[in-house]
A = this chain, B = another copy of it.
Amino acid sequence: MSRVGIVGAGQLGRMMALAGYPLNIRCHFLDRSADAPAAQVAPILLGGLEDPAKLRQLAHGSDVLTFDWENVPAAALKKLRGQVTIRPSVRSLSVSQDRLLEKRLFSQLRIPVAPHAAINSLADLVRAGRELGPHGVLKTRRLGYDGKGQAVIRTVREQSPAWETLRGTPLIYERFMPFSHEVSLVAVRAPRGEIRFYPLTRNTHQGGILRLSIAPHIDPGLEGRARTYMRRVLKALGYVGVMAIEFFVVDGKLIANEMAPRVHNSGHWTIEGCPSSQFENHLRAICALPLGATHALGHAAMINFIGKMPDPKRLLQIEGLAFHDYGKQPRPARKLGHCTILSATAALRDRALKRALKQIQWA
């Protein structure tokens, strides 16, 4: 039996705990909320994610420590490094917590990114608008997710209001990318360096929140390139576990948008769609077990339930649909669950997807 301590007890941790049980990997959690999604399926330690005493307690009962949220305070984790193995490493976490460091890493590794600039004043923003173009996005460097901490700027006039909304924390300005679509790659790396890639996935966002993933997204050229970039990042960080990188596709080329040092929403379809899910493979990797197969078993679509849960009785009538309820209270823009369709052909998948979308309202 391996004992895995997980900092954060959201839906990602919940699905990890459920993937762990068959392998006799027992996950336990640290989180503020006794009713957090993972706390409904596994033991939880109640406390703040940065509480040193609680973190030590979690580490004490764990063979390996991981996290289900990339905004876990890296400094707090760093103090545990002598006590317990932390996978992925605190360095991987730190880099991905800061959009500027992340972009610098990508650039060092010759992975294309959007033209960008660090912003610490309105003057910086005005200069960046002049140099990079006035159409762009102003983002907080840290603690952004699901579209939070971002302001779209279309004209020079919108620079000042955007600055006023986000000022007070280090920012980054990125030139708007006229992308045709968004894809992501999820991969897993074992302690001894073996890497496995899940099939490329095509994603649709609205309001900064992932709505829909389609996999496999068949484009061998893009997929090969994405794998090359992913391999560079994983090696550079000496990474262990599952990582996701999101890309914009601009003129048929990949522009890296961001990386997540954890299992990722665009990999949820792998629960039904691959022999070993991203959750299982993250656990296998951090527990130094052999990695599982990552090929697609069919054609999958994943739809997020946002703000409002659909009626399971209606959705479950759709053949080959799997339903995932995270056990959360509904709230606008909150990810409450998802469903995955797995079909033998892309055409069948698309037909089922159309039926499923009729049952789902995003709130």
Q: Using a CB–CB distance below 8 Å, which chain A residues touch chain B?
A: 1, 14, 18, 21-24, 26, 40-41, 272, 275-276, 284, 289-290, 292-293, 297-298, 312-313, 316-317, 319-320, 322-325, 327, 342
List, in ascending order, chain B residues with CB within 8 A of A320's CB: 275, 293
Pair A322/B290 contact, Cβ less than 8 Å: no
Q: Which of B276, B297, B316 contacts A292 (CB 8 A)?
A: B316
Q: How many copies does the complex hold?
A: 2
- Alpha-carbon distance between A257 and B284 when the two chains are bound, in angstroms: 40
- Alpha-carbon distance between A324 and B21 when the two chains are bound, in angstroms: 8
Known: A324-B22, A325-B24. A275 touches B316 (CB 8 A): no
Nearest B residue to A309 via CB reads B24
Pair A323/B275 contact, Cβ less than 8 Å: no
Interface centre among A272, A313, A323, A342 (most CB of B within 10 A): A323
Pair B275/A290 contact, Cβ less than 8 Å: no
Q: Which of B18, B323, B324 contacts A18 (CB 8 A)?
A: B18
Question: What are the 5 A-B residue pairs with the smallest beta carbon separation, nearest first?
Answer: A24-B325, A290-B316, A22-B324, A290-B317, A275-B320
List, in ascending order, chain B residues with CB within 8 A of A319's CB: 275, 293
Pair A21/B22 contact, Cβ less than 8 Å: no
- Alpha-carbon distance between A21 and B24 when the two chains are bound, in angstroms: 17
- Alpha-carbon distance between A317 and B276 when the two chains are bound, in angstroms: 12
List, in ascending order, chain B residues with CB within 8 A of A272's CB: 275
How far, in Å, is A269 (CB) from chain B's closest CB? Answer: 13
How far, in Å, is A302 (CB) from chain B's closest CB? Answer: 13
- Can you add 7 more A-B contacts, CB < 8 Å, to A18-B21, A22-B323? A14-B21, A22-B322, A22-B324, A26-B40, A275-B322, A284-B316, A290-B313
- Alpha-carbon distance between A213 and B109 when the two chains are bound, in angstroms: 49
List, in ascending order, chain B residues with CB within 8 A of A324's CB: 22
- Alpha-carbon distance between A167 and B284 when the two chains are bound, in angstroms: 51
Pair A323/B23 contact, Cβ less than 8 Å: yes
List, in ascending order, chain B residues with CB within 8 A of A293's CB: 319-320
Pair B289/A313 contact, Cβ less than 8 Å: yes
Could you name 7 residue pairs across A and B whose Cβ atoms are closer than 8 Å? A21-B40, A23-B323, A26-B40, A275-B320, A290-B317, A292-B322, A293-B319
List, in ascending order, chain B residues with CB within 8 A of A313's CB: 289-290
Nearest B residue to A23 via CB reads B323
How far, in Å, is A319 (CB) from chain B's closest CB? Answer: 5
- Alpha-carbon distance between A289 and B316 when the two chains are bound, in angstroms: 7
Interface centre among A14, A24, A322 (most CB of B within 10 A): A24
